[in-house]
Structure 1
Amino acid sequence: MDPAALQFGVTFNDVFANAEAYLRQLIYFVVGFVAVYLLGKLVVAPLVRRIMANRGFDEAVRSLTDSLVGALVFFVALAVAFTVAGFPSFLTAAATLGGALALALGFAAQDLIGNFVAGVFILKDKPFEVGDWIEWNDMSGRVEDIDLRVSRVRTFDNERVTVPNGELANNAITNPVAYDTLRQKFLFGIGYDDDIDRATDAIVEEAEATDGVLDDPAPSVRMTELGDSAVGLQSRIWIADPDRADFVRVQSEFVQAVKERFDAEGIDMPYVYRQLTGEVEVVESVADGADAGGGLDAGVDDVDGEGGR
Structure 2
Amino acid sequence: LVAGAVFLAVAAVLVWVVMRVVEFGLRRLFPTESPVYRSFVATVVRLFLWFGVALTFLSVLGLDEIAASLGTATGFVALGVAYATSDMIADAVAGVYLLRDPDFDVGDRVHTAKAEGVVTSIELRKTRFEVEGDVVVVGNAAIEDNWRKISTDEVGTDGVDGDGGGGGDGADDGADASP
With normalisation by structure 1, the TM-score equals: 0.46
CA offset at residue 40 of structure 1? 1.8
Residue of structure 1 equivalent to 2:140: 165
Assess, with a 3 A threshold, how the Cα gap between structure 1 residues 138 and 63 changes in structure 2: closer, same or farther.
closer
Q: Is the 8 A contact 1:57 1:123 kept in 2?
A: yes
Residue of structure 2 equivalent to 1:80: 56
**Structure 2 residue 28 is the aligned partner of structure 1 residue 119:** no
Assess, with a 3 A threshold, how the Cα gap between structure 1 residues 78 and 46 changes in structure 2: closer, same or farther.
farther
Larger radius of gyration: 1
| Partner deviation per Cα, 1:2-41 (whole Å, 9 max, x = no partner) | xxxxxxxxxxxxxxxxxxxx43x33443244234323323
CA offset at residue 75 of structure 1? 1.9
**Structure 2 residue 15 is the aligned partner of structure 1 residue 37:** yes
Residue of structure 1 equivalent to 2:157: 248
Aligned-residue CA RMSD (Å): 2.4
Identity across aligned pairs (percent)? 25
Assess, with a 3 A threshold, how the Cα gap between structure 1 residues 90 and 28 changes in structure 2: closer, same or farther.
farther
Q: Is the 8 A contact 1:32 1:77 kept in 2?
A: no
- Give the Cα separation in 2 of the matches to 1:134 and 1:42: 38
Q: Is the 8 A contact 2:127 2:140 kept in 1?
A: yes
| Partner deviation per Cα, 1:34-84 (whole Å, 9 max, x = no partner) | 34323323334433443233xx42222112122222222222333333344
**Structure 2 residue 146 is the aligned partner of structure 1 residue 146:** no
CA offset at residue 122 of structure 1? 0.3
Q: Is the 8 A contact 1:41 1:73 kept in 2?
A: no
With normalisation by structure 2, the TM-score equals: 0.74
Q: Is the 8 A contact 2:22 2:42 kept in 1?
A: no
Q: Is the 8 A contact 1:33 1:80 kept in 2?
A: no
Residue of structure 2 equivalent to 1:58: 34
Q: Is the 8 A contact 1:118 1:166 kept in 2?
A: yes
What are the ranges of 5 or more consecutive residues in structure 2 without an aligned counterpart? 159-179
Instruction: Select 1:175's aligned residue among 127, 149, 170.
Output: 149
Q: Which has the higher contact order (CA 8 A, sep 6+)?
A: 2
The AA in structure 1 aligned to 2:69 is A
